[in-house]
């Protein structure tokens, strides 16, 4: 049950990123066409693209974490024996989870302090821009927990193969 929910959330994240990227491209194209053909620039596409870029970055972060696409410096970690390497990575996952908890708290506090303000062009709450931070922190924390648990599962599977 939990695995099915996790797979559904992961698929939704990936689709959400695709949709955001498509809407960003269309809004930018519309703004460019309008600026150079009608010579009357629209203000809302630029603002919308900025908000969507924040969402793209923050919702894309858990996807990148899951796929191992984030930048890592493994020179020293790769020099360690396999068992020590596993424990270092587990420590990274724990610190990543703690960071996500801090990010959630800070993002929620920032959202609550700014949700009454309105954006200049679209006149929507700035809270929409800031709400991506705590939401992303939750998704990333779940990914760090999964990576941490998988690190123990990988050891169990490798030990079964050695017998």
Residues in the chain: 163
For 124, residues 6+ apart whose C-beta sits below 8 A from its C-beta are 118
Q: What is the pTM of this model?
A: 0.85
User: Rounded CA gap, 74 and 89, in Å?
Assistant: 10
Q: Where are the domains of the chain?
A: 2-162
Q: List per-residue pLDDT tens for the chain, 163 residues long.
A: 778 988 999 999 999 999 999 999 999 999 999 988 887 788 899 999 999 999 999 999 999 998 888 887 788 888 899 899 999 999 999 999 999 999 999 999 999 999 899 989 899 999 989 999 999 999 999 999 999 999 888 666 565 554 4
User: Rounded CA gap, 155 and 158, in Å?
Assistant: 5
Q: Phi and psi at residue 118, in whole multiples of 5°? A: -115, 150
User: Rounded CA gap, 19 and 145, in Å?
Assistant: 27
């Amino acid at each position: 049950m939990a695995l099915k929910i996790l797979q559904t959330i992961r698929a939704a994240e990936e689709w959400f990123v695709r949709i955001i990227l498509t809407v960003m491209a269309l809004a930018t194209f519309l703004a460019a066409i309008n600026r150079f053909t009608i010579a009357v620039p629209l203000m809302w596409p630029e603002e919308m693209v900025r908000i969507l870029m924040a969402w793209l970055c923050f919702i894309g972060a858990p996807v990148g974490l899951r796929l191992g696409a984030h930048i890592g410096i493994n020179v020293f970690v790769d020099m360690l024996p396999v068992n020590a390497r596993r424990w270092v990575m587990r420590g990274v996952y724990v610190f990543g989870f703690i960071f996500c908890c801090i990010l959630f708290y800070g993002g929620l506090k920032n959202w609550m302090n700014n949700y009454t303000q309105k954006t200049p062009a679209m006149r929507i709450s700035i809270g929409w821009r800031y709400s991506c931070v705590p939401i992303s922190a939750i998704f990333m924390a779940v990914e760090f927990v999964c990576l941490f648990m998988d690190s123990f599962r990988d050891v169990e599977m490798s030990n079964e193969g050695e017998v």
